[in-house]
Structure formats: structure tokens, C-alpha cells
Amino acid sequence: MEQWQDQSIILSARTHGESGAVVSLLTRSFGRQCGYLRGAGSVKNRGVIEIGNIVDANWRARTSDSLGYLTLELSHSTASRIMQDALKLSALQSACALCDQALPEKEGHEGLYNGLHALLKILESDVWAQGYVMWEIALLKELGFALDLSRCAAGGDSRTLAYVSPKTGCAVSREAAQPYKDKLLPLPEFLKPCGKQSGEEDIITGLNLTHYFFEHWVFVHHNRGLPEARHRLDLRFAEVFAKTRAC
């Protein structure tokens, strides 16, 4: 009999059979894991398996390669705390979908869990959008696709970084980028070495930056491509920004 117990974050849950669900978790010590939850449609379990919730998970199976059975106890309800904010909820769904689709199963990496756990706390604060973009950059690095935004790849002044190369993920200074700046991705102010406070337009620039590298580096060979939840986050931010400008 194989068994483990660990604090985990709910990444997704899909109905399986009459009353069960296959639940995908990001665990602290065992990486992304899946298991079957009996009675997933019950009043108790429906609230437990909300995306982003932190749970104490117990997994049991005859062999390590089996799907296994889960029992879950709710530790912290993230979803309920941000339910009234559609933009934060979209960010939560996007983060969990990115982890669910990008991470290999059963490959332990405590740093990934700690990063997502920290993001969940940030989402409950008023200043969270910059943190979300920075979390996506950290996830890219954990997946082996690090961006270098600390210096100019062309030898220019690192104090005037303004663009990112879509080929290398390296930053380029404003002056060095002039001959080919139309082919580069804009670098938001808050990601520059001397980062400044930024508004919604700068956040959108950051989301467009990470969107590009997830789409062209991480999910380029995935059958489903970039998760739909990540596309929805872009659209929600664009809608909010458009309303703000209209006012």
C-alpha cells in the first residue's frame, strides 16, 4: 500500500462517475499529484475542492502508479475570500491552471509550492497585480525558462532597460534597442532594476510579456496550448483598464 499526507493546494477538480471527482493538487513535498475523491458533490466537499483552497490531503493507493484515493480537510479557503473580486478570482484561476497544465506529475519541488502559497496570500491584499506578474516570471524560471531582466543583453546601460528580446528573454536598453525595437517586447516599469510604482497599463504590459513566453516557450508543444484561464485574465484586465480610461 502506497500512502502520503501533505499540505496541498487545489489546482483543479473534474467530475468523474456519479458522485466523485479527479482532483489535481500541488503538494508541498510531492509535486503535482492527482487522486480520486469520493462524494465530491456533497455540500462539504464542494466547498473544499474550490480552486486555490489550501487543504490537508491524504492519498492512498495499491501502487505508486495508481490514481489513488484522496481524503481532504480544508485548511484555508482562498476562493471564498476573493469571490467578490472578479479580477482577483481570474488571477487565482489562471495561476492554478498554469501549474496544473505546465507541471509534470509527481515531480517534487517545494519552491513551486511555496511560491504559489505566497501568491495566494498576496491575492487577498489590495496590492497584488504586480506580485502576480512577478510570480509568473518566477514560474517561468522554475520551469527552466528564466528571463534576464537585470542587464542589457547588447551591452547598453542597465539603468535604461526598456525592452525584452522575444528570442532570448533578455532585457535590452532603450538606446541599444533603437535599430530593432519594433521586434522587441516592452518591459514594464516595475520590472526594471530601479522599479517604480505602476498603474493598470503597466500591469497589462507585464501580463503581455509573460503571456508571450508561456505561449511560445512553455506551451508551444502542448496540445491544449496556453490555458483558457490565462487568456481570460488578459481580457479581464483589458476590460477594467478600458473602463478606467473611460471614466
Both 145 and 235 in a single domain? yes
d(CA 120, CA 95): 9
Structural domain ending residue among the three candidates 61, 82, 103: 82
Both 232 and 121 in a single domain? yes
State how many domains the chain has.
Answer: 2
- Beta strand 31-37 with 69-76 is parallel
Phi, psi dihedral angles at 59 (to 5 degrees):
-120, 135
Structural domain ending residue among the three candidates 37, 63, 82: 82
Both 107 and 228 in a single domain? yes
Both 154 and 239 in a single domain? yes
Domain around 215? 86-246
Q: Give the length of the chain.
A: 247
Both 66 and 131 in a single domain? no
Dmax (CA) of the chain: 63
CA proximity to 218, closest of 155, 127, 141: 141
133-149 tens-digit pLDDT: 999 999 999 999 999 99
Both 171 and 101 in a single domain? yes
| 225: confidence class by pLDDT, cuts 50, 70, 90 | very high
47-74 tens-digit pLDDT: 999 999 999 999 999 888 889 999 999 9
pLDDT in the model for residue 174: 96
38-51 tens-digit pLDDT: 999 898 899 999 99
What CATH number is given to the structural domain containing 220? 1.20.1440.120
What CATH number is given to the structural domain containing 27? 2.40.50.140
Detail the DSSP E strand segments found in the chain.
2-16, 20-27, 31-37, 54-61, 69-76, 161-164, 171-173, 185-186
Q: pTM to 2 decimals? A: 0.95
Structural domain ending residue among the three candidates 44, 67, 82: 82
Answer whether 38's CB lies under 8 Å from 17's CB: no
d(CA 70, CA 4): 10
Both 35 and 133 in a single domain? no
* Sole residue written with cell 488571477: 91
Both 70 and 123 in a single domain? no
Angle at 215 between CA 119 and CA 33, to 5 degrees: 50
Both 224 and 132 in a single domain? yes
Both 109 and 168 in a single domain? yes
Would you call 119 exposed, middle or buried from its count of C-beta atoms within 10 A (0-12, 13-18, 19+)?
A: buried
**Starting at the edge strand that comes first in sequence, how are the strands of the sheet with 171-173 ordered?**
171-173, 161-164, 185-186
